[in-house]
Structures are given as structure tokens and as C-alpha cells.
Chains A and B, each alone.
Chain A
């Protein structure tokens, strides 16, 4: 029966090529526009570390004074940690692994004569960073906690940087000259080389960065960065009196990101309790003023939602595309209704010959689905065009706008679902055509 209905549908569509083309075009445009935006949103909210993200958490403390009022336009100071808090959490060692980190931009002075000094961005971190995030190494490894404590001048490079500096030589054991822009550089011993690695979005970065384009080219111990007063890039936010040059270790300036790995929900709950206890203890000491229960523990995906990584433009465009799909679907409903009801005499003949209402319904359902398939294929083309045009844009996230296989299948599925849904009402109306009345007028 299915083949027969398919044949009927094809014949019917061929009879009215203009109307069919209009319907396919409408659904194609609707699907194309909405899938373009859905894909962008899908890419931007994707899991940055599949397999690990479920066990990663961000502790969130509230050391702000009671008098502090959050201005609407500034980032929240308590989204980062102060040095004393980060060090206390690190020492407490309550997670499987934990690391404090901050971004930095340094001037690299190459030893090769033909290379000019250049700026590179990277991260200051503590030892667990590599194991916790599963950073893939090409050679060597990260530094040890002993290196952290000894403030050893060691560095881990990204592969592209290592190749640029040392060519085919083994970079491990070599020295790299790094320092603040304009001051004498220090020599750092290379202990490891990572594959060029940057999760998208770069979830561990603070809101000052560009999480869809930034990538760390070097990693060095946080203790060394503080020791040498290395330049830091990110949000540095203070409350109360400024503390000049010693700001890095000030208890009233937040600038550090902190991540902790907790393998079971029970441990996560225990860690949350630990944060509350820690806050209560700090409050008793007079350092914290706000309620201890302000302490929170965010999961990785929860943190991404909290940080609001998806730009407003993208969300607005998403709603616009959905509205557009709605207009297109209404349009299909109207056109299909006109098309089906015009065939009332034909329906009546079929009914008179013994077709049940259900058969008529299925017949027209298949016809709508056929339009959906054609519209879906067209929509796929339009969405690719849309994504291509987004990739030409200068936005931070633009270069990521690509469809993966699941989105390809999703596009066609959405088109079929949309057109079958749009076909429901017309098909229902068609199968309720009273045969006797129509036959009389034939």
C-alpha cells in the first residue's frame, strides 16, 4: 500500500509543479534558517571535555563585604577566587584532583637569531591541571607538586610553539626565555610538550577571554608567576583598599580560576559541605561577611550556563529563526489544505470504492512527508550556505560553525516532522469530506 500511496503522491505533486515548488521552497527556507542557528547554538553549548566533564566542578565562594553592591555592567568579583582562598582549597586536597589557574601573556625571546621576540598567551597553573583535564602530551610530561612548591622555572609548551622554536630538535630539556613585556626575561626549562589542545569553549578561562578562539601556548607553575610577578590577563577585581604591587596575593582581589575533580555525586555533596564549612570558618575569623551558605559548587555544564558563554546575538538569532520556521509551517498548512481540499471529488471516489478514512489520512500524510523530504534536502543546502556565511564573519565563534553528522540527520528529521505536522490538519480535513455530497456534483 505504501508504494501505491507514494506513487499517488508523486503524481499529485507533479500535477501542480508551481504549488509543490512553493511548498518545498517555504519549508526549505524555514528549515535552513532555523538549522543554521540551531547548529551554531549546538556547537557553542557543546560539552568541551566529553568523558571528563561530568566529574569537573568549580567551587564558588563569596568573600565580598556586605556593603558591596554588584553594578549591573561589571563581571561578578566572586566568580574568581582570591589567592588565599585558592591556596586553602588546594592544601585541603578534598577532591581527587584540583588546580588553580590564571591566564597570562608574556613576551618570548627566541634564541634563534632570525626570530623576533613575540607575545604569547598561556596559563599559569598548578600540577594537577594536566591530569585533571587530560591534556595530551607529545613528549615529556607536566611538572610535579614538588616543582610547584620549589617555584621551579619549568614550562610546558604547545606543539606548534615547540616546533616554531626548536624545529625538529627534541624540545624537552631546552630553555625558553620568557618574561613580562619590557623586562628582562627568565629562562624556563621545557619539561613537556602537549599536542595543540584547546577545548571549545575554553571553559576554564574567565569571562574576559574569547573562549571560542583562545588557546594556551604555554603552561608554567602559578607559584613562579606570582613569585616573578608575571603579567596576568583576565578579570582582576578588588574590593576595599588596593594593595599596589602585592595585589596577586591580596585577600581582597580575585583573579584565579579553580577546578576540582570529584568522581561521585556523594563526593560532590561532601565537597559542597566542605565549602560551606570553610566559609563559616572564614566568617568566624572575620574575613568573610556574607552567609556561609552562599558557597556553591558548579558542575562544568552548570558553570558554562552561569558564565553565559553564548552571546546574546546568537540567542536572539535562534529565536528569530524559530519564529521564521513557524511562519513557514503555517504557510505549508495553508497550501496543503488548499491542495487537498481541491481534490475532494477524487477523495470521494476513493471513499465510495471502499477506502477508509484512515487510508485517506495515510495517503495525504505520505504526500506531506514527501514534501518534507524534499524541503529537508533543500534546507540542508540552505543551512550549509548559512553556516558558510557565518564562518566568513569575524565573530569569535564563527569558525566553529560546522555541521556534524548528528546535525545533518537532525535537519532532515526536523523537516519531515515539521511537514508531517503541518500536513496533519489538512489530511484530517480531507478525510472528513462527505463522499455522497461530492459525488453528486461530479
Chain B
């Protein structure tokens, strides 16, 4: 338990660092936030009032502290363009991204584990080569390419799916595959190498000497050990999918978190960009934390140290 608490505490400086960097970014970008927010024709008085309200006349440190306190209260600022609270916009976009990420992760896990296990069992034989070539291709293809390809073939040519997504399960299938494709590749590769490594361990000999058949050795003894790193990777991948599939969402027109990021850049909407980056980073940090904790729950050697 002690090390779990320690691990959680160690996140605090990282989170502060993240907020500091995001804060600095806002300062570097040219353009006074007040004039951007108000537009052109406003009296000096209004500008001063708003400056004071946004605490832009205070020292930088004080501004940073009030930014951090605001974030802790869930206040990520107001969008320049829509004039709505950024927190609200993120919460509205979140369900789409969650749905997409869960479907993509499910696809990646099933395909990746299956291919990885088969490849390891048939090491250096034809199925192994085929799966590994596919998975390397999966890692090497840019997401926009697989997304466009799927869209062209299955939505435009075969008309099996809608071209853009409206949030229904059916319309999310293609985006989920496009997004999960890369992850499936890396899961397959990690599963394979980890399983092959575990199969070299001494306890595999023990299991075979005991009279276990190949299948029981793999599923009863090897897989449990080899999946430890894979499960960590899965947790990290899920969190990075949750942190916004910028490309997939932009190709299929899904109004999720990734979409917020792209629109905020094209609209020069700094608070929105900051908010989405902060939100996604927190998701990733939490994902890494969960991955670590999961690992220690699953591995009895680490569990006993906690």
C-alpha cells in the first residue's frame, strides 16, 4: 500500500510541471487575450475591467497560482470563440471519445492478443511471418491513411457504413478499426516477444517435465507471465485513445476531444487548446498510474512488496 501511495504522490510535481508548461505557452503566444476575447471596438475602460477580472494585471506567479486553483475547481477558462466554459465543452465531447476509444481498444486487444499468441506459438513459421508483417504494417501506416482507406472502401465503395459518424455504434465501427489498427500491431508484437521469452524460462521446463501438454503449458503457465507487460501496454493505450483520436475524429467527423483540439487550433482559441491538452494529459497520467497499479496487483512478487 505504501508504494501505491508514494506513486500517487509522485504524480503531483508532474501535474504541476504540466500546468506550468501550458501556462507558459499561453504567455508566449502573441496577442493580448483581452483584445482577442473582446474583438476590436471596445473602450479602454472595458478592457481595463476585463484585464482586472482576468487578473492579467497581477504578477505572473500570482496568475499561475490562480490558474492552478481554478483548474482544481474545474475551471479551465472560457472559450474565445464560443464564449462557453471549456470544461462544459470537454464534457460534451467526452462521450463520443469514450465510445470510440472503448470500441477501438476492444478491437485492438482482441486482434492483437490473438495474432500475438498465434505468432509466438508458430514462431518463425508461416503464420508467424504473416501476422508479424501485418502488425509491422499496422505500426507503420499513418492513422490518416488507414482511416481514409477504410472510409473509401467500406463507406464510399461498398456503402456498408456511413461516411461520417453520427455517434451510433454502426457509424463508429470504421473509426474504431482505424484507431485500433496501430495498437493491435504493437500489442501483437509485444505479446509475441514476451511469450517467446517466457517460453525460454526454466519453469516452462518444469511444467513440461510434470507432464503438461503444450497447450496447457502455454495457457496455464506461460501466458499469465507474458501478459503482465502486455496488460500494462493495454492500459496505456486505452488512456492515449481516450486522450483524443485527433486524426480519426477529424477524418470521420466525430465531435470528440481530438476534434476540440483541431478546431481550437484553426480558430486560434487558446483557452480551449489549453483545456483539452490539460485534460488529455491528466487522462494519460492517470492511465499510467492505473497501469502501474494493475501490474503490481497482477504480479504476486510486486504485490507482496506493496
A interacts with B: no
